[in-house]
Chains A and B, each alone.
Chain A
């Protein structure tokens, strides 16, 4: 029977190979740190169940310290250049897509059909994880087909894999770590704490309000942090699980899938997600590539109309659209341009406040707001019986 343990061993062997190949790569700029990092990931896959919880915890901390101290870098294993790739792809033709398509085909087939297959009275796949196991089966099958067809030298697939995993770097472990953060949140009772807090402000029995606060919260938090994966455990522990699943009996699968995608919407709207929004603006040499809301982000926000004002741009101007602040940008003529980002009739207000002055007042008002919020919280806590 194929169980998750076998698949973990496979992944462990793969990461162990990455570690060994990194250690053997003399041209790797950060050889030791990177090899150690992949070795720890391999150890987690191979021996995680024997390490004890404390041992695993220390392993996580070691991974985080390695990542945080900047000792992980990219190697440059030998691969083909653009010219050679073009020549090879001409030779292989569209068949090149086939091995890649084997993976989802086997994964889907496996999770629908193979899960019921028995060999000598024993099930082929562990019934608890049909999809993951079929996926692993699909990857192995596809790699087997590709190797038989393309006949690369023995280490080539591993070196090519290392090229890709090095490009991802420490971020390869981030989703797993975020999921673990969700586990710690659950153990420490974050859900209950947020529920206690949220039920004061959100009408907890109003489905629409609750779902809106979850999905909009996901988008907003992602915009602030620039990463939907990071927003997911926090928002789902905070609103998703206690309110949507716990109180309103929503379907956790639908909620989580759409919650994550709401986060992706946030990613599309924030300069914090540099890979997706800032890098292409530079690659394409867009004139507004350094602006906070460059052309790529604007093309992703609906109602992308721009208001141009015939006033010379200075930083002291403030704009509000229907009461909400908007950023002011300088256009190519040095005039003010504004993205109102509103539909229907809008009131756009322009105020001049002076540059530094504006910043000071802004600081004071933010400080006041925080103090007020703090006071409110203290008051509320004081008046609510424990």
Chain B
């Protein structure tokens, strides 16, 4: 049972906000030692596992390409593309962005959006503007809610799109982890299995965006009602 303390170390270490790389290494060493291996064997086991897991870090091979394209204005171009969208309501605008974010992330362009690059300068202001164009002046709370939904949509699109790309760290982590446990899986099979969840996430978040529009309509009506005679 002592061998399980490695799991506890990971949980406590992350909770205590220690450096995760250090936490993981300590957890690995502790697990081996408490599992009854001698120190040299533990370090060797960790070294062998790390060496076998090198394929996970192949995900970074793409960085010079992405960096070069960013230098030439890739993100600016994406922003221009999103900026051209004319959507009638915040919900529909965010729905379009959700699809855009999921598809681009699935093609490996996961840094094309993001909170600092896309949501703050562009998406949130656009969604707010769409809201007041359509429903009239919105109360403060409603505007803040639209902003929060813009940020949430970026997260949901990224999380449930990126795993469809085969060379993302999470897919390679899964592949390598399963290999360490004697199961060979092609990354392509893993990414195919990320598709059902991506579709479900699109439908669920899309339905909730439709409800956001309905909520905004009520909210705007109430606000204008309060202001009336």
Contacts and interface: CB of A to CB of B under 8 A. Distances in A.
Contacts of B76: 82, 85-86, 89
A159 B62 CA distance: 13
Given A100-B69, A256-B174, A300-B156, A280 B115 contact: yes
B142 to A, nearest CB: 11
Interface string A179-194: 1111111111111011
Interface string A274-309: 001101110111111000001110111010000000
A300 B155 contact: yes
Interface string B9-28: 01100110011111011111
Contact of B194 (A54, A70, A257, A377): A257
Contacts of B173: 175-176, 178-179, 229, 232, 260
Interface string A241-254: 10001000000111
Given A86-B76, A103-B65, A381-B1, A234 B49 contact: no
Interface string A349-384: 000000000000000000000000000010001000
Interface in B109-153: 109, 115-116, 119-120, 124, 140, 144-145, 147-152
Contacts of B4: 190, 193-194, 197
A304 B113 CA distance: 25
Contacts of A57: 42-48, 50
Contacts of A299: 145, 148-149, 151-152
A297 to B, nearest CB: 8
A180 B80 contact: no
Interface residues of B, number: 118
Identify which of A48, A68, A135, A280 gathers the most chain B CB atoms within 10 Å of its CB. Answer: A280
Contacts of B21: 63-64, 67-68, 170-171, 173-174, 177
A121 interface: no
A347 interface: no
Main secondary structure of the interface of A (DSSP, over half): helix
Contact of B60 (A11, A107, A183): A11
A160 interface: yes
A261 B124 CA distance: 26
A188 B73 contact: no
A183 B55 CA distance: 14
A100 B65 contact: yes
Contacts of A165: 60, 63
Contact of A59 (B47, B80, B108): B47
A132 interface: yes
B6 to A, nearest CB: 7
A346 interface: no
A179 B195 CA distance: 23
Interface of B: 1, 3-4, 6-7, 10-11, 14-15, 18-22, 24-29, 31-32, 34-37, 40, 42-77, 80-81, 107-109, 115-116, 119-120, 124, 140, 144-145, 147-152, 154-156, 159-160, 163, 165-167, 169-174, 176-178, 180-191, 193-194, 196-197, 204, 208
Given A56-B50, A164-B63, 19 more contacts: A53-B51, A67-B22, A97-B109, A99-B65, A131-B188, A160-B64, A177-B25, A179-B49, A179-B180, A180-B52, A181-B31, A187-B35, A190-B7, A232-B177, A257-B197, A279-B116, A280-B154, A288-B144, A294-B148
